[in-house]
Amino acid sequence: MKRLMRMKEGRLLGGVCGGIGNYFDVDPVVIRILWVVLTLLSVGIGVIVYIAAWILMPEEGAGEAGTATQSP
Stretch among 10-14, 15-19, 23-27 having the lowest mean pLDDT? 10-14
Taking residue 36's Cβ as centre, other Cβ atoms within 10 Å add up to 12
**Domain ranges, ordered by start, for the chain:** 16-56
Q: How far apart are CA 2 and CA 22, in angstroms?
A: 9
**Per residue in 19-42, pLDDT tens?**
888 889 899 899 889 989 999 999
pTM for this one? Answer: 0.70
Q: How far apart are CA 39 and CA 43, in angstroms?
A: 6
